[in-house]
Copies of this chain bind each other. A is one copy, B any other.
Amino acid sequence: MRIGEIAALVGVTSRAVRHYHHLGLLPEPQRLSNGYRVYSVRDAVLLARIRRLSELGLSLDEVRDVLADDAGRELVEVLAELDADLARQEEQIRARRRRLAELTAGTMPPEGPVSPTLARLLRAMPETDSVVAAKDRELLTLLDVAGGGEEAIYDALHSLIESPDVLALYERLDDLADAAPDDPRVGPLATDLVGLLSDAVLDAMPEQDGPPLEGIGDAILADLAPAQAEVGRRVMEALVEKQRLRTQMKTDGEESG
Protein backbone atom coordinates (compact mmCIF):
# COMPACT_ATOMS: atom_id res chain seq x y z
CA MET A 1 0.00 0.00 0.00
CA ARG A 2 1.02 3.55 -0.53
CA ILE A 3 0.33 6.33 1.89
CA GLY A 4 -2.93 7.42 0.33
CA GLU A 5 -4.25 3.89 0.39
CA ILE A 6 -3.42 3.13 3.98
CA ALA A 7 -4.80 6.50 4.98
CA ALA A 8 -8.07 5.90 3.17
CA LEU A 9 -8.24 2.40 4.62
CA VAL A 10 -8.26 3.56 8.21
CA GLY A 11 -9.96 6.85 7.51
CA VAL A 12 -7.30 9.47 8.08
CA THR A 13 -5.47 11.81 5.74
CA SER A 14 -2.04 11.17 4.28
CA ARG A 15 -0.91 14.25 6.13
CA ALA A 16 -1.95 12.71 9.43
CA VAL A 17 -0.01 9.56 8.64
CA ARG A 18 3.12 11.56 7.96
CA HIS A 19 2.47 13.46 11.15
CA TYR A 20 2.39 10.21 13.08
CA HIS A 21 5.69 9.25 11.50
CA HIS A 22 7.09 12.57 12.56
CA LEU A 23 5.97 12.04 16.13
CA GLY A 24 7.34 8.53 16.14
CA LEU A 25 3.93 6.98 16.66
CA LEU A 26 4.18 4.98 13.50
CA PRO A 27 7.57 3.75 12.27
CA GLU A 28 8.70 4.93 8.88
CA PRO A 29 8.09 2.07 6.46
CA GLN A 30 10.30 1.01 3.63
CA ARG A 31 10.57 3.16 0.57
CA LEU A 32 10.26 2.40 -3.06
CA SER A 33 13.14 3.45 -5.29
CA ASN A 34 11.23 6.63 -6.07
CA GLY A 35 10.97 7.53 -2.42
CA TYR A 36 7.34 6.51 -1.98
CA ARG A 37 6.50 4.86 1.32
CA VAL A 38 5.16 1.32 1.12
CA TYR A 39 3.04 0.04 3.95
CA SER A 40 2.37 -3.47 5.14
CA VAL A 41 -0.68 -4.89 6.85
CA ARG A 42 1.15 -4.58 10.15
CA ASP A 43 1.46 -0.84 9.61
CA ALA A 44 -2.22 -0.60 8.86
CA VAL A 45 -3.09 -2.46 12.02
CA LEU A 46 -0.92 -0.15 14.07
CA LEU A 47 -2.34 2.91 12.37
CA ALA A 48 -5.82 1.66 13.09
CA ARG A 49 -4.99 1.33 16.77
CA ILE A 50 -3.60 4.83 16.80
CA ARG A 51 -6.73 6.14 15.24
CA ARG A 52 -9.06 4.29 17.57
CA LEU A 53 -7.23 5.60 20.60
CA SER A 54 -7.01 9.17 19.38
CA GLU A 55 -10.67 9.08 18.41
CA LEU A 56 -11.46 8.26 21.97
CA GLY A 57 -9.89 11.54 22.92
CA LEU A 58 -6.39 10.55 23.96
CA SER A 59 -3.69 12.97 23.01
CA LEU A 60 -1.09 11.63 20.64
CA ASP A 61 1.42 11.61 23.47
CA GLU A 62 -0.90 9.46 25.49
CA VAL A 63 -1.42 7.22 22.50
CA ARG A 64 2.30 6.77 22.25
CA ASP A 65 2.55 5.91 25.92
CA VAL A 66 -0.22 3.39 25.66
CA LEU A 67 1.30 1.78 22.60
CA ALA A 68 4.74 1.77 24.19
CA ASP A 69 3.99 -0.49 27.13
CA ASP A 70 1.40 -2.58 25.44
CA ALA A 71 0.78 -4.46 28.63
CA GLY A 72 -2.79 -3.33 28.26
CA ARG A 73 -2.41 -2.64 31.94
CA GLU A 74 -1.76 1.04 31.69
CA LEU A 75 -4.45 1.45 29.09
CA VAL A 76 -7.16 0.91 31.63
CA GLU A 77 -5.78 3.62 33.86
CA VAL A 78 -5.45 6.06 31.00
CA LEU A 79 -8.98 5.37 29.88
CA ALA A 80 -10.30 5.91 33.39
CA GLU A 81 -8.46 9.19 33.64
CA LEU A 82 -9.72 10.14 30.24
CA ASP A 83 -13.27 9.46 31.24
CA ALA A 84 -12.89 11.68 34.27
CA ASP A 85 -11.50 14.39 32.04
CA LEU A 86 -14.36 14.05 29.60
CA ALA A 87 -16.79 14.22 32.49
CA ARG A 88 -15.24 17.50 33.53
CA GLN A 89 -15.47 18.88 30.03
CA GLU A 90 -19.04 17.79 29.74
CA GLU A 91 -19.95 19.52 32.94
CA GLN A 92 -18.23 22.69 31.79
CA ILE A 93 -20.15 22.70 28.57
CA ARG A 94 -23.40 22.14 30.38
CA ALA A 95 -22.61 24.99 32.73
CA ARG A 96 -22.01 27.25 29.80
CA ARG A 97 -25.20 26.16 28.16
CA ARG A 98 -27.09 26.84 31.38
CA ARG A 99 -25.67 30.34 31.47
CA LEU A 100 -26.52 30.79 27.83
CA ALA A 101 -30.08 29.72 28.47
CA GLU A 102 -30.36 32.16 31.34
CA LEU A 103 -29.01 34.93 29.21
CA THR A 104 -31.22 34.40 26.23
CA ALA A 105 -34.25 33.83 28.42
CA GLY A 106 -34.68 37.40 29.61
CA THR A 107 -34.38 40.55 27.58
CA MET A 108 -30.78 41.40 26.95
CA PRO A 109 -29.71 44.63 28.64
CA PRO A 110 -27.71 47.02 26.46
CA GLU A 111 -24.67 46.30 28.59
CA GLY A 112 -24.48 42.89 27.00
CA PRO A 113 -25.01 39.53 28.61
CA VAL A 114 -24.78 39.80 32.38
CA SER A 115 -25.60 37.51 35.25
CA PRO A 116 -29.30 37.08 35.95
CA THR A 117 -28.79 38.58 39.37
CA LEU A 118 -27.38 41.74 37.91
CA ALA A 119 -30.00 41.77 35.20
CA ARG A 120 -32.65 41.88 37.90
CA LEU A 121 -30.89 44.73 39.58
CA LEU A 122 -30.53 46.68 36.36
CA ARG A 123 -34.20 46.25 35.63
CA ALA A 124 -35.01 47.46 39.11
CA MET A 125 -33.13 50.69 38.56
CA PRO A 126 -35.35 53.62 37.70
CA GLU A 127 -35.47 54.62 34.09
CA THR A 128 -33.72 57.91 33.69
CA ASP A 129 -31.60 59.86 31.27
CA SER A 130 -29.17 60.67 34.03
CA VAL A 131 -25.60 60.46 32.85
CA VAL A 132 -24.34 59.55 36.28
CA ALA A 133 -26.93 56.81 36.55
CA ALA A 134 -25.66 55.38 33.27
CA LYS A 135 -22.12 55.35 34.64
CA ASP A 136 -23.43 53.64 37.72
CA ARG A 137 -24.90 50.90 35.61
CA GLU A 138 -21.57 50.45 33.89
CA LEU A 139 -19.80 50.14 37.21
CA LEU A 140 -22.28 47.52 38.27
CA THR A 141 -21.46 45.42 35.26
CA LEU A 142 -17.86 45.60 36.35
CA LEU A 143 -18.74 44.42 39.80
CA ASP A 144 -20.65 41.62 38.11
CA VAL A 145 -17.78 40.25 36.06
CA ALA A 146 -15.30 40.75 38.86
CA GLY A 147 -17.27 37.98 40.46
CA GLY A 148 -17.12 39.59 43.88
CA GLY A 149 -20.87 39.58 43.67
CA GLU A 150 -21.96 38.26 47.02
CA GLU A 151 -25.67 37.89 47.49
CA ALA A 152 -25.61 40.44 50.27
CA ILE A 153 -24.26 43.17 48.07
CA TYR A 154 -27.04 42.77 45.59
CA ASP A 155 -29.62 42.79 48.34
CA ALA A 156 -28.18 45.99 49.72
CA LEU A 157 -28.05 47.57 46.29
CA HIS A 158 -31.64 46.61 45.64
CA SER A 159 -32.79 48.41 48.74
CA LEU A 160 -30.63 51.36 47.78
CA ILE A 161 -32.01 51.58 44.31
CA GLU A 162 -35.56 51.29 45.42
CA SER A 163 -35.22 54.26 47.70
CA PRO A 164 -37.43 57.10 46.45
CA ASP A 165 -34.58 59.58 46.96
CA VAL A 166 -32.35 57.98 44.43
CA LEU A 167 -33.64 59.77 41.36
CA ALA A 168 -33.30 63.15 43.00
CA LEU A 169 -29.73 62.39 44.00
CA TYR A 170 -28.80 61.37 40.48
CA GLU A 171 -30.25 64.64 39.26
CA ARG A 172 -28.28 66.65 41.76
CA LEU A 173 -25.14 64.87 40.62
CA ASP A 174 -25.94 65.52 36.99
CA ASP A 175 -26.37 69.19 37.83
CA LEU A 176 -22.77 69.34 38.89
CA ALA A 177 -21.53 68.37 35.44
CA ASP A 178 -20.22 71.84 34.69
CA ALA A 179 -19.71 73.07 38.24
CA ALA A 180 -16.43 73.87 39.92
CA PRO A 181 -15.08 71.53 42.60
CA ASP A 182 -15.75 74.13 45.27
CA ASP A 183 -19.37 74.54 44.29
CA PRO A 184 -21.50 75.01 47.40
CA ARG A 185 -23.78 72.12 46.40
CA VAL A 186 -20.94 69.63 46.74
CA GLY A 187 -20.90 69.41 50.53
CA PRO A 188 -24.60 68.83 51.13
CA LEU A 189 -24.84 66.31 48.31
CA ALA A 190 -21.97 64.30 49.73
CA THR A 191 -23.60 64.31 53.14
CA ASP A 192 -26.91 63.14 51.73
CA LEU A 193 -25.22 60.35 49.75
CA VAL A 194 -23.36 59.10 52.79
CA GLY A 195 -26.65 59.12 54.61
CA LEU A 196 -28.19 56.88 51.98
CA LEU A 197 -25.31 54.42 52.02
CA SER A 198 -26.56 52.66 55.11
CA ASP A 199 -24.78 50.15 57.23
CA ALA A 200 -26.32 47.48 55.07
CA VAL A 201 -24.02 48.46 52.26
CA LEU A 202 -20.99 48.64 54.49
CA ASP A 203 -21.83 45.24 55.90
CA ALA A 204 -22.14 43.82 52.44
CA MET A 205 -18.71 44.82 51.22
CA PRO A 206 -16.37 44.06 54.06
CA GLU A 207 -13.60 42.11 52.37
CA GLN A 208 -12.18 44.36 49.75
CA ASP A 209 -8.62 43.34 50.01
CA GLY A 210 -7.66 46.57 48.50
CA PRO A 211 -5.02 46.20 45.80
CA PRO A 212 -7.17 46.63 42.71
CA LEU A 213 -9.27 49.30 44.34
CA GLU A 214 -6.57 51.91 44.53
CA GLY A 215 -6.34 52.18 40.82
CA ILE A 216 -9.96 51.77 39.99
CA GLY A 217 -11.00 54.42 42.49
CA ASP A 218 -8.87 56.99 40.70
CA ALA A 219 -10.20 55.84 37.37
CA ILE A 220 -13.77 56.24 38.50
CA LEU A 221 -13.14 59.74 39.76
CA ALA A 222 -11.27 60.62 36.59
CA ASP A 223 -14.32 59.58 34.65
CA LEU A 224 -16.50 62.19 36.39
CA ALA A 225 -16.73 65.94 36.12
CA PRO A 226 -14.56 67.82 38.63
CA ALA A 227 -17.36 68.69 41.03
CA GLN A 228 -18.83 65.23 40.78
CA ALA A 229 -15.42 63.75 41.49
CA GLU A 230 -15.15 66.00 44.50
CA VAL A 231 -18.43 64.61 45.81
CA GLY A 232 -17.13 61.14 45.18
CA ARG A 233 -13.92 61.82 47.05
CA ARG A 234 -15.79 63.15 50.07
CA VAL A 235 -18.19 60.21 50.08
CA MET A 236 -15.33 57.76 49.90
CA GLU A 237 -13.50 59.52 52.67
CA ALA A 238 -16.55 59.47 54.87
CA LEU A 239 -17.17 55.81 54.15
CA VAL A 240 -13.60 54.85 54.92
CA GLU A 241 -13.86 56.72 58.20
CA LYS A 242 -17.15 55.04 58.99
CA GLN A 243 -15.65 51.67 58.18
CA ARG A 244 -12.63 52.41 60.34
CA LEU A 245 -14.80 53.21 63.30
CA ARG A 246 -16.84 50.06 62.84
CA THR A 247 -13.75 47.92 62.57
CA GLN A 248 -12.27 49.50 65.65
CA MET A 249 -15.45 48.94 67.62
CA LYS A 250 -15.50 45.34 66.55
CA THR A 251 -11.86 44.87 67.53
CA ASP A 252 -12.43 46.49 70.90
CA GLY A 253 -15.40 44.26 71.48
CA GLU A 254 -13.34 41.18 70.69
CA GLU A 255 -10.50 42.28 72.95
CA SER A 256 -12.78 42.88 75.88
CA GLY A 257 -14.76 39.74 75.17
Contacts and interface: CB of A to CB of B under 8 A. Distances in A.
Contact of A42 (B82, B99, B223): B223
A142 B223 contact: no
Interface residues of A, number: 67
Interface in A195-251: 211-212, 214-216, 218-220, 222-223
A179 to B, nearest CB: 21
Contacts of A41: 135, 138-139, 142, 216, 219-220, 222-223
Contacts of A113: 52-53, 56, 75, 79
A79 B79 CA distance: 33
Given A41-B219, A56-B96, A48 B142 contact: yes
Contacts of A220: 41
Number of copies: 2
Contacts of A8: 211-212
A89 interface: yes
Given A41-B219, A55-B96, A83-B100, 8 more contacts: A5-B216, A9-B216, A40-B219, A41-B139, A52-B114, A52-B145, A75-B113, A86-B96
